[in-house]
Each structure stands twice: as C-alpha cells, then as structure tokens.
A and B are shown apart, each in its own frame.
Chain A
Amino acid sequence: MKKKVLILGATSAIAEATGRIYASRAAKLFLVARDQKKIDLVAQNYSMLGASQVDFLIADFIDYNSHQMIYKRAKEKLKNIDIVIIAYGKLGNQNRGEKIFDEAREVIETNFTSVVSLLTIIANDFQIQQSGIIAVLSSPAGDRGRAQNYIYGATKGGLSVFLSGLRARLYQHNVSVITVKPGFVETPMTRDVGRNCLFSSPQKIAKLLFHKIEKNNCEEIYLPWFWKYILIVIKLIPHRFFKKFKL
C-alpha cells in the first residue's frame, strides 16, 4: 500500500535521505521547507526515484500563523496522512546565545515552540483519524545539558518531554509518537563540529529511521543504537562531577 508521508523540513539532510527511501517505494509525499530552489530539486528527484505523487509548499515554520494553512494543504493533497516526519532544527551559536537572548530565542522558537504549534494541529487531526505515526527529530543533546550546547540541548530536552506526554495521550487513539535521537550526523548543521569516529552519514540514519517507522514498535530511539548506552553513562554521572566538565 502506498504510504502517505508529510515531511516538515524536507530539505534538511536526514529528512531528504529518509524521503528518498519512501519515494523509491512509490509513496505519496508532501514536502515543506523554506528554500524554493532546494525543495524543487528534492521534489524532482523523488519523482524520478518513483514517488507516486510529490507536492510541496514553501513556508517558514517560525511563522506560526502559517501552520494551519500548511497542514490544510497537506491534507488536500494526501487525504489521510499515514506518517508525519518533523525534521528541521537550528543548532544556533551557544556563545552568542549566552550573551544575546535573541539568538537563544530563535533556537527555542525554531526547535521547540514552532514544533509544539505544528504538533498541536497534527495531534488533534490524528486523534480524529484514529491512526498515524508522528516521528520527530529530537537529540541526545536534550538528555542532559552540557556547557557547550545547553541552549540547543534545552530545546530538544523540552521537546522530548513534550513528545513523551503526547505519546501517552495519543496511545489511546491508536496513534504512535516516535522520538528520534540521532547522534552525530554529517550534515550542514554539524559543519563546525570536529569529526570523529562516532559520526554517521544521513543516509545511514535515514535507513535506520525508515525501518523503525515501518516496524512501528518503538517510542524513543537512538540512532545508531550505541548512543543509547553512551547517554546512559552520561546521565549517571553525578552533578558534582558533571558540572566540572567543559564538554
């Protein structure tokens, strides 16, 4: 059966790679992103890869007023949506954010507030629909605030908590909510982060994510799997030691 997939943040590296897998399986796709040229390229690529239908919309998620319209358009094209993937985010500049609140606010609004706004609309619709999977990209950075990126971490931490509650609410209505926590991924977001052996490619993450969504038997997933254990260790470190780390 052809899956109907809505991808918010469709030109981000992980989203694009994941959408590609759905396209090659003849899915019907609705893509939303900010950049006209990029989304055009992505949509064309998907069509040639075998997507049975590809439509897109240019929108900036910071504009909360556009959210109702975005979802309405997606529903018009896809009818009953099977899967929503929310895959956009902003790393921000931690140093700048510490001094200037506007920088921090932008990260908070992009990663948390705007996502909550969209999820409100999607959740209410899926609740009526009594079906669907919502997969949202959070981050292991949200598991514990580190000196080096606690602004970003806080937005993802807040998001993970929100998703946890949403999961419980929507479970009663046969809707799944998956919190996706990819570790270090080679994308434009991590351009300035020093590369090490823990990095994965967006293609690898996409493959893992696709299979998890297909199986639909998980709640919170770390990709690849070993990040789960890295974070277990990190979370066990007592505060009086953790506060001394310059991580």
Chain B
Amino acid sequence: MTYQSWGKLFNYDQEIILPSWQNDCDKIFRSKYRLLPYGLGRSYGDSCLNANEALVITGQLNRLLYFDKENGLIKVEAGISLRELLNVIIPHGWFLAVTPGTKDITVGGAIANDVHGKNHHKSGTFSSCIDEFCLLRSDEDKYICSRKKNQKYFSATIGGLGLTGIILWAQLRLKKIESSLIEQEVIRFETIDEFIHLSEVSDNDFEYSVSWIDCFSRGRGHLIRGNHMRGENGYSIGKEGLFSVPCNMPNFLLNRCTMKMFNFTYYHKQFRKKVTSLVHYDQFFYPLDVISNWNRIYGTRGFFQYQCVISFGDSVRLIQTILENISRSGLGSFLAVLKKFGDVRSDGMLSFPRAGYTLAFDIPNRGESSLRLLNRLDKIVMEAGGAIYPAKDARMNKKMFQCSFSRLEEFYKYKDVKFSSSFWNRVTL
C-alpha cells in the first residue's frame, strides 16, 4: 500500500507507522525518522507526505469516545472520518458547524488544515467547531489544548499541517438541524460583477453559498446558495459513493477541448435564471463524493489544485485577470469554485481563509506549462497581498508561503522538531 496525496503527483519512499490504539502512539518517537500524521490523504499536494521520513497513519484511531446527544458535544479519536462522524450524528439531529466539500477527511486533517466550507461568511473555519483536543508531542507529553489551556499549541495546531504533534482526540461542538434537507437556490450569472453583487446579497439571507465558475469564460457561472430546511422532517444519512472511477483514465481524456465543452454544457444545463429546490445534505455539501476516486480522471500524470484568496479591494479586475490567464494557458478546469469569505477570525496561526474572495480550481499536470501558469498566478496573488492554501498546494515557493502567512515566525516556536513534511521542507529550507 503506497501512501499518496489526492493530486497523485508524488510517489515517495516513506516509512509507515500504524498505531491501532492511542497508547501505541507513545512508541512512535522511537523511530529514527521524522514524523508526519497522515489521515485519508485528501490534501492535494505534499502537505500530507514526508519523503524519506515516516508517516504515522491515523486511520485506525477512529473511535467515538463520548457523545452528548442533548447538547451536541462529541469527543472522537482524531482518525475518524467526517463521513463516519456524520453517520452517527445526523440521526440524532446534529450536523457539523463547518464542513468542507468532502466527507472523506479525518477530524485530525480538518483541524490541521483548518478547513472551511460554504458558510465561512457566517461561521468561519473548522476552528469554530473545536472545543479542545489532545496533542501528543515528541517530549512524550500529552497536551490538552483549548482557548483556555495551552493556547499557543491550540493556535499553532489549527492549520498547523500536522507539524506540531499528533492530535489523539478532539472534542467538537455540533450544530442542531431540523432536517437532512437543504432549501437550495441556483442562480446563473454572466459576469464577475454580477457574482459579486449576488454574493453580497446572499450573505444576509443564506447560511451557505458558493459558486461554480466557467474558467474558460469571462466570468459566467452558477451561484448555489442554501439553508437547512426548517420543520421536523426526519433525518436520513447519505448513501455510499454510487460510482467509482475504476482506474487511471487515459491522459488525453481531459484536454482543453473536452473541458471547454464540459463547462459550456454545464453552464447551460440550467435554463432558467433561478431554480429553487429541496436537496439532500449529501448532494448539497458533498457532490463530488458521489464519485469515489474521481482523481483518477486525471490519469497517471495527476493534477494540481490551486486555491488562493484575495482581499476585497480590486477583486473584479483580479479575478478576471486570473481567469484570463487560466483560459489563455489552455489548461483550464471544470471544477473551478469561487466564494466570498467573511471576516470571522480563526484561532489558527496558519489559517488560510480571510476576508476576501477565494478561487479554487484543478489543472492537469502538463509539466512545465502547468507550473508556469501557477507561478504567474502566484505573482498576481502576491501583489494583491493574498495567500495560497497549503492543503491544495504542490509547488508554491518559500517567498509565496511567507507572504501568505503573517504569523509564520510565531508558528516556528511551536512546531515540533521531530515532525516534518515534504511541503514544509520545500517552503522553509
């Protein structure tokens, strides 16, 4: 079993350590290698990889420890996936206060990347779900970290990419829901200006909002917004992934032509300007999870994911410039997402989301041309004082990383020397 990341760009030699119980973790520091916790490998680049060192696979540390069904408090071993967690809490009328676009990540991974979702403008990042967690560091001490205890370790670990130690368990605050259904609206927009206007207006009345954007265009797309349905309607959990991409697809499958066609068709699939419907939470929050192993669509060469955030200033022009660059490169993607972040602060030192607009998209790995495009985009983002999301990154340089995170100097003090990652080595050495 090789351990890769989602973009399938790297094939590293890594020592594997697989604890089955929390107590097994006491022995991991005997390893001569430096360590990195690994959840479900959904990071796209190398932030979850540790070339020539060791990965501590957390997947078997996935037990429920305590669940207060009345007050929505749950304590879990950090290797549990959001999928397993949701299967337990939904039938009791609870949901995650913040959820990313896939259920197939671990709670540990959600904390380490301080993930965000469609409701960032209202609820901030995963940080706001966290009550406390237990951090095991290489001094073999277990630190209970919260906003009141070991605050620096708390802040450093949220968004800390697994570099401050291993999270053994975490206690989360859940969100009460009345139904498994979401009242959804999908609105077509033609330009970035229209998107920005719609975003502003949606923020007040809608808890969740995100846009899919056609990156081969000047800025047309669909804005998807929604709220949990009110009224007792019973709860149902989602089904297992219906389809699976059985193997790596041929490299020629995704090219400029096919992607342009897909984007065109997808944009026009909705005839009306606005469509309102009731959808299951699984479809609203986790549309991609329906297809297991969707990353195989990109073939053996793999793909890059790029997610940046730029502040509110000159947004329209900047977003348009980025889209133009993508379009001109011929490397566009059909999974481009645009969203407005709010100014809810996270506790994390290396937290990525901040007030502004975030754009995320995949591009196939075509070697030099892909890297050239992303380097050009880095320049644009850097000049605008923005940031790149480490969870998605496979190639940003030291300067870009430093510009992205103003609290990096502070983070250094709390990083554990026994822990390392390929990402960290790339952006700091």
Contact = CB atoms under 8 A, between A and B. Distances in A.
Does chain A bind chain B? yes
Interface of A: 13, 24, 37-38, 41-42, 44-45, 48-50, 186-188, 191, 195, 197, 199, 201-203
Contacts of A38: 21
Given A186-B1, A187-B20, A41 B63 contact: yes
Contacts of A13: 20, 60
A49 B88 contact: yes
A202 B20 CA distance: 11
B4 to A, nearest CB: 13
B318 interface: no
Interface residues of B, number: 17
B65 interface: yes
Contacts of A202: 60
Interface string B12-24: 0000101011011
B87 A24 contact: yes
Contacts of B60: 13, 202
Given A49-B88, A199-B1, A42 B20 contact: no
A199 B20 CA distance: 16
B45 interface: no
B64 A201 contact: no
Nearest to B18: A186
Most buried by A among B20, B23, B64, B87: B20
Contacts of A49: 64, 88
A45 B74 CA distance: 12
B87 A188 contact: no
Contacts of A199: 1
29 contacts: A13-B20, A24-B87, A37-B23, A38-B21, A41-B63, A42-B63, A44-B64, A44-B66, A45-B63, A45-B64, A45-B65, A48-B64, A48-B66, A48-B67, A48-B88, A49-B64, A50-B88, A186-B1, A187-B20, A188-B20, A188-B24, A191-B18, A195-B16, A197-B1, A197-B2, A199-B1, A201-B1, A201-B59, A203-B59
Contacts of A197: 1-2
Contacts, number: 38
A41 B87 contact: no
Nearest to B19: A188
A89 B358 CA distance: 53
Contact of A195 (B1, B59, B63, B66): B1
Contacts of B66: 44, 48
A202 B1 CA distance: 13
A197 B3 CA distance: 11
Contacts of A201: 1, 59
Contacts of B65: 41, 44-45
Interface in B54-79: 59-60, 63-67
Contacts of A45: 63-65
Contacts of B16: 195
Given A24-B87, A186-B1, 9 more contacts: A13-B20, A41-B21, A41-B63, A44-B63, A48-B64, A48-B66, A50-B88, A186-B18, A199-B1
Contacts of B88: 48-50
7 closest A-B pairs by beta carbon, nearest first, are A48-B64, A45-B63, A48-B67, A45-B64, A199-B1, A188-B20, A41-B63
A38 to B, nearest CB: 6
A36 to B, nearest CB: 12
Contacts of B67: 48
A191 B24 CA distance: 12
A15 B330 CA distance: 51
